[in-house]
């Protein structure tokens, strides 16, 4: 495999997982951008060492010190923060350097063709353009460019797409009908952004290092003018007025206004720290994202005067305007949101949460907004009417390695980004299952004898062991640091795993899944292969330019073969005892004689080789060409290339089933497996292993209780699966439906679900004093776009009741006594109830009443009885009295009453008068 895959600066310097020194020149804002880009490829524990050799230029473009060194260890939480050394020389307004560590495609610029409904996304780390069908929201094509694309724009009239390639100082022109590059135009240096005027068919490219704007004629694909500006970054065109607006950063902080008819500067407008710019051609309003001020500056295009400054989210980096709805959208990168602004009032009317939004464009016809999520490698699709995310599209991730069990005809594919292994049926080419393993699964090997599969998890530093019969993980073996290559000797049941950062190779006993030995080899061992016949393991030491030969019986290095190049991968033909080693820098495959450990030949290729595999039965060697999107077939007898088979985009790994004479090629960025017939050297099928993003939902606790007139809560959590991200929406239904039944609410109502992470909300169920006690079923529905899942909870609303018997006797003779029985009954309630007895009306010498206890302690579903005593004196007024008992516990209170009559002694005389209570 290519150990330096995508870990490169635009200057061409390479950064692998080892320590490297990088020397190049670039402005401070590009330097910051490059470090952000690099950090995404570094796993926890990686040491990043950078030496920047800078030239001092006027305007403070470069760091203030001629030489800056930066060294940082990536922490386990996957973020790096700019320290004093790193930030030295940056302006006081510069933000702290924050980068999420995650390998990926790196979606940047986005452009929408409202005529065809297609969306084009620049994938900066995979050097491609993803084409998304706006009707089905699926990726329908991937266009290779050969360099990292940055900005993108298009002409809907000609259906041509324009993409800037900063490292090559060119703009590529893509035909939207054929999805092919039809022209390459050389412009200035340090390309930033591109904009198109469809009316004049002129394309404008900002050159950040040349301090110019290149004007391209779309009919001839030639530069017809070069306009000197400040330090240009963003650019936008108003086709109605034929006016071009260019943002200038650095110390200038202004917008340059250009007349498109004569390419002359008409004015400049100071705006703060401008980055991106967009225009509403209907209202002739220009919108400038002020990246450090966290505002959107509104300029009147007629007067070139600033008419408003709208506070938006943190660090707005892109802006788009819908002329039909007069809505403006800013992507607030560090605020993890998109701000929606009403152009008529210049106020923010909505904030849509999403992870790391970097670029934005829209389809004004369908009122659909498209935002790229850089670290998540997603395209978020937003409904402009409701300001909700309706779908997300995963952009360019795929398989990193694979192996085959010829006995069962199963293919096992490691997906380094998704943390999974796909199991494929070789007979039907169908996916049997997807098994979650550790973080960053890279190397993979199968023991054909036991059916077990061993997966090196490069991020979680472990080796997962899968049972091939059940497709489940049965063991996890700790690895000291960043395991990468895997090879299995099925005869001895020994597994060999390379540890590049430790310069060692692990030897694992497959019967016990335990470490037998740790063998020191050369520097940066990236791959390993095994000859089961000779019981020898061959380790490719990338930095040492050697191959270490390990004797499997003693677990010692018995030979070191000097190669003279950096080996990337290798395979053994046990029948001929030959080892084939890829030489990426030399575009060749070297041949080693296993009996003498000598180099016996070199096979030239038309491309830099990636992975290599062998069919010992046919003596054919298969080599992937990641940059050529093909594989070469070599005849092992003559060492000649006998066929070239086109496959998917970026073939990184392959495996051969010698039993069926079938070759399986993993196409990383196509997210597919090409199945090739070894007898005809043709593709027989293509397996799509893309697993759509999803999430799972849970609640804790899943059941709870509370009394009436109060509430209870549970935390509802959604966990991202296959890197789905977006805004969560929660709703709840409660049954049975009853009058004055409990109600549900969520805080926050719309949390963000980050790719690979989780989003949570607190569910609160509330009851009033009138809510009937009982158990209720609560069904919570969570949704991200069109994806929905539910979780069930059980909620019990508790209460207690009071009942009071008729006093005995019910008629009291003056000076007499009566008693009643109070029953305090629990309806699921447990706790103390305070009792208060009262008599009404309150009169002089009236009767008195009391309870045998002032409080009772209830246990769920029990009843406690209390005696209520009623006493009178000879002076008591005759009449009817109401005896009331109130039971209280916290906010819950209930009252029960009963009447008694007080009469005179036989003749109705006595007492202080007569009255009756009605």
Q: Is the pLDDT of residue 99 over 60?
A: no
Residue with tokens 């900063």: 166
Q: Which of 322, 330, 334, 338 is nearest to 285 (CA)?
A: 322
Looking at the structure, tell me whether residues 320 and 303 fall in a common domain.
yes
- Domain end, chosen from 647, 668, 688, is at 688
* 8 lies in some domain: no
Looking at the structure, tell me whether residues 445 and 526 fall in a common domain.
yes
* 10 lies in some domain: no
Question: Distance between CA atoms of 736 and 793, rounded to whole angstroms?
Answer: 13
- Kindly state the percentage of the chain with pLDDT values over 70: 84
Q: Is the pLDDT of residue 741 over 90?
A: yes
Instruction: State residue 95's pLDDT score.
Output: 29
How crowded is the C-beta side of 160, counted as CA atoms within 13 Å?
Answer: 22
* 7 lies in some domain: no
* 14 lies in some domain: no
* 11 lies in some domain: no
Q: Is the pLDDT of residue 727 over 90?
A: no
User: Are 157 and 109 within 8 A, CB to CB?
Assistant: no
Cis peptide before 222 (omega within 30 of 0): no
pLDDT band at 193 (very low <50, low <70, confident <90, very high): very high
Residues 6+ apart with CB under 8 A from 740: 768, 770, 771, 772
Question: Distance between CA atoms of 295 and 330, rounded to whole angstroms?
Answer: 10
User: Are 230 and 256 within 8 A, CB to CB?
Assistant: yes
Other CB atoms within 10 A of residue 60 CB: 15
SS3 per residue for 686-720? EEECCCCCEEEEEEECCEEEEECCCEEEEEEEEEE
In tens, the pLDDT along 66-89 reads: 333 333 333 322 323 332 223 232
- Tell me if residue 34 falls in helix, strand or coil: helix
Please give the full DSSP string across 165-193, using - where no structure is assigned: ETTTTEEEEEETTTTEEEEEEE--SSEEE
Looking at the structure, tell me whether residues 94 and 174 fall in a common domain.
no
Q: Is the pLDDT of residue 814 over 50?
A: yes
Give the mean pLDDT of the chain: 84
Instruction: State residue 105's pLDDT score.
Output: 57
Highest mean pLDDT among 135-149, 248-262, 488-502: 488-502
Question: Distance between CA atoms of 497 and 495, rounded to whole angstroms?
Answer: 7
Q: Is the pLDDT higher at 394 or at 678?
A: 678
Q: What residue numbers bound the domain in which 909 lies?
A: 805-915
- Domain end, chosen from 67, 100, 133, is at 100
Looking at the structure, tell me whether residues 366 and 229 fall in a common domain.
yes
Question: Distance between CA atoms of 62 and 66, rounded to whole angstroms?
Answer: 9
Instruction: State residue 722's pLDDT score.
Output: 66
Q: Is the pLDDT of residue 58 over 70?
A: no
In tens, the pLDDT along 639-671 reads: 999 999 999 878 889 999 989 999 999 987 777
H runs (alpha helix) in 273-352: none
- Domain end, chosen from 394, 425, 455, is at 394
* 910 lies in some domain: yes
Instruction: State residue 562's pLDDT score.
Output: 96
Instruction: State residue 359's pLDDT score.
Output: 86
Instruction: State residue 560's pLDDT score.
Output: 97
Question: Distance between CA atoms of 175 and 325, rounded to whole angstroms?
Answer: 30
533-542 as b/e: b if 16+ CB within 10 A: eebbbbbbbb
Task: Please tell me whether the overall predicted TM-score, pTM, comes out greater than 0.85 for this model.
Answer: no
Looking at the structure, tell me whether residues 384 and 419 fall in a common domain.
no
Looking at the structure, tell me whether residues 42 and 84 fall in a common domain.
yes
In tens, the pLDDT along 399-414 reads: 778 888 888 888 888 8
* 17 lies in some domain: no
Give the phi and the psi of residue 651 in degrees, each rounded to 5. Answer: -70, 115
How crowded is the C-beta side of 672, counted as CA atoms within 13 Å?
Answer: 18
Instruction: State residue 387's pLDDT score.
Output: 93
Looking at the structure, tell me whether residues 531 and 416 fall in a common domain.
yes
Q: Is the pLDDT of residue 27 over 70?
A: no
CA 759 to chain centre: 11
Q: Which of 501, 474, 471 is nearest to 485 (CA)?
A: 501
Q: Which of 516, 513, 527 is nearest to 484 (CA)?
A: 527
- Kindly state the percentage of the chain with pLDDT values over 90: 62
Domain count, the chain: 5
* 3 lies in some domain: no
CATH code for position 480: 2.130.10.10
User: Are 629 and 398 within 8 A, CB to CB?
Assistant: no
Looking at the structure, tell me whether residues 116 and 95 fall in a common domain.
no
Q: Which of 702, 882, 874 is nearest to 796 (CA)?
A: 702
Phi-psi group of 571: left, alpha or beta (phi > 0 → left; psi -120 to 50 → alpha; rest → beta)? beta
Cis peptide before 456 (omega within 30 of 0): no
Looking at the structure, tell me whether residues 259 and 211 fall in a common domain.
yes
What is the average per-residue pLDDT within 149-159? 92
Instruction: State residue 187's pLDDT score.
Output: 94
CATH code for position 704: 2.60.40.10
Q: Is the pLDDT of residue 449 over 60?
A: yes
Q: Is the pLDDT of residue 739 over 50?
A: yes
Q: Is the pLDDT of residue 250 over 80?
A: no
Side-by-side strand order, sheet with 401-405: 401-405, 410-415, 420-425, 430-436
In tens, the pLDDT along 370-392 reads: 888 776 667 888 999 999 988 77
Looking at the structure, tell me whether residues 615 and 675 fall in a common domain.
yes
Instruction: State residue 641's pLDDT score.
Output: 97
Instruction: State residue 465's pLDDT score.
Output: 96
Q: Is the pLDDT of residue 331 over 90?
A: yes
What are the tokens at 777?
């079923």
Looking at the structure, tell me whether residues 157 and 295 fall in a common domain.
yes
pLDDT band at 130 (very low <50, low <70, confident <90, very high): confident
Looking at the structure, tell me whether residues 698 and 684 fall in a common domain.
no
In tens, the pLDDT along 198-227 reads: 999 999 999 988 999 999 999 999 999 999
């Amino acid at each position: 495999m290519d150990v330096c895959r995508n870990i490169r600066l635009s200057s061409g310097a390479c950064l692998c997982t080892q320590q490297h020194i990088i020397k190049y020149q670039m402005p401070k804002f590009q330097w910051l951008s490059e470090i952000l880009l690099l950090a995404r490829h570094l796993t926890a524990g990686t040491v990043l060492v950078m030496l920047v050799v800078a030239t001092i230029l006027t305007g403070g473009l470069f760091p203030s010190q001629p030489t800056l060194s930066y060294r940082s260890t990536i922490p386990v939480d996957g973020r790096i923060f700019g320290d004093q050394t790193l930030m030295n020389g940056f302006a006081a307004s510069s933000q702290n350097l924050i980068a999420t560590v995650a390998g990926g495609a790196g979606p940047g610029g986005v452009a929408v063709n409202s005529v065809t409904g297609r969306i084009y996304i620049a994938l900066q780390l995979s050097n491609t353009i993803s084409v998304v069908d706006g009707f089905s929201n699926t990726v329908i094509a991937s266009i290779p460019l050969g360099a990292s694309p940055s900005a993108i724009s298009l002409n809907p009239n000609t259906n041509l797409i324009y993409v800037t390639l900063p490292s090559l100082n060119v703009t590529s022109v893509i035909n939207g009908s054929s999805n092919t590059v039809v022209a390459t135009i050389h412009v200035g240096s340090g390309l930033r952004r591109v904009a198109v005027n469809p009316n004049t068919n002129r394309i404008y490219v900002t050159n950040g290092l040349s301090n110019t704007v290149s004007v391209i004629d779309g009919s001839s694909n030639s530069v017809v003018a070069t306009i000197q500006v400040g330090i240009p970054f963003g650019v936008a065109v108003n086709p109605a007025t034929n006016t071009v607006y260019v943002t200038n950063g650095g110390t200038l902080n202004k917008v340059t206004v250009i007349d498109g008819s004569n390419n002359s500067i008409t004015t400049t407008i100071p705006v703060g720290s401008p980055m991106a710019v967009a225009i509403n051609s209907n209202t002739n309003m220009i919108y400038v994202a002020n990246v450090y001020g966290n505002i959107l500056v509104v300029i009147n295009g007629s007067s070139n005067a600033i008419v408003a400054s709208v506070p938006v989210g943190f660090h707005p980096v892109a802006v788009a305007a819908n002329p039909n709805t007069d809505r403006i959208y800013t992507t607030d990168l560090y605020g993890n949101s998109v701000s929606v602004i009403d152009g008529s009032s210049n106020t923010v009317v909505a904030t849509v949460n999403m992870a790391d939004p970097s670029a934005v464009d829209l389809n004004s016809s369908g009122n659909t907004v498209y935002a790229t999520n850089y670290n998540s490698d997603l395209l978020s699709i937003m409904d402009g009417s409701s300001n909700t995310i309706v779908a997300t599209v995963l952009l360019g991730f795929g398989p990193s390695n694979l192996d085959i069990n010829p006995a069962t005809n199963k293919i096992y594919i490691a997906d380094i980004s998704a943390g999974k292994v796909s199991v494929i049926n070789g007979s039907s080419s169908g996916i049997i299952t997807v098994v979650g393993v550790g973080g960053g699964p890279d190397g993979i090997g199968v023991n054909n004898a036991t059916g077990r599969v061993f997966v090196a998890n490069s991020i979680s530093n472990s080796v997962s062991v899968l049972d091939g019969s059940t497709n489940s993980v049965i063991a996890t073996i700790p690895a000291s640091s960043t395991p990468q290559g895997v090879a299995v000797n099925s005869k001895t049941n020994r597994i060999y795993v390379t540890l590049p950062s430790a310069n060692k190779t692990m030897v694992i006993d497959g019967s016990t899944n335990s470490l037998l030995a740790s063998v020191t080899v050369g520097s940066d061992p990236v791959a390993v292969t095994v000859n089961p016949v000779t019981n020898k393991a061959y380790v490719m030491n990338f930095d040492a330019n050697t191959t270490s030969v390990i004797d499997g019986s003693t677990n010692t290095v018995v030979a070191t073969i000097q190669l003279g190049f950096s080996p990337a991968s290798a395979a053994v033909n046990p029948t001929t005892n030959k080892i084939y080693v890829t030489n990426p820098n030399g575009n060749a495959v070297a041949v080693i004689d296993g009996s003498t450990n000598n180099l016996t030949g070199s096979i030239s290729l038309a491309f830099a080789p990636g992975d290599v595999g062998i069919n010992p039965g046919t003596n054919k060697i298969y080599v992937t060409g990641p940059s050529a999107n093909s594989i070469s077939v070599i005849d092992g007898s003559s060492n000649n290339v006998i066929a070239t088979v086109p496959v998917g985009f970026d073939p990184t790994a392959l495996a051969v089933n010698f039993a069926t004479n079938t070759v399986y090629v993993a196409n990383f960025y196509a997210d597919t497996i090409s199945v090739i017939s070894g007898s005809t050297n043709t593709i027989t099928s293509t397996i799509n292993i893309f697993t759509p993003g999803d999430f799972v939902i849970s609640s804790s606790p899943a059941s709870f209780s509370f009394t009436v007139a109060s509430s209870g809560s549970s935390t509802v959590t959604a966990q991202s699966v296959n890197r789905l991200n977006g805004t969560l929406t929660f709703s709840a239904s409660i049954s049975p439906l009853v009058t004055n039944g409990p109600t549900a609410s969520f805080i926050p109502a719309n949390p963000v679900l980050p790719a690979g992470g989780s989003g949570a909300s607190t569910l609160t169920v509330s009851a009033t004093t009138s809510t009937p006690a009982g158990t209720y079923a609560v069904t919570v529905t969570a949704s991200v776009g069109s994806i929905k899942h539910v979780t069930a909870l059980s909620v019990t609303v508790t209460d207690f009741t009071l009942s009071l018997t008729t006093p005995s006797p019910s008629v009291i003779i003056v000076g007499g006594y009566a008693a009643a029985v109070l029953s305090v009954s629990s309806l699921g309630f447990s706790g103390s109830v305070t009792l208060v007895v009262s008599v009404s009306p309150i009169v002089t010498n009236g009767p008195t009443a009391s309870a045998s206890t002032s409080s009772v302690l209830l246990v769920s579903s029990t009843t406690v009885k209390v005696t209520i005593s009623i006493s009178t004196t000879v002076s008591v007024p005759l009449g009817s009295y109401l005896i009331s008992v109130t039971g209280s516990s916290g906010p819950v209170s209930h009252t029960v009453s009963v009447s008694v009559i007080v009469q005179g002694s036989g003749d109705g005389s006595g007492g202080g008068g007569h009255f009756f209570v009605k």
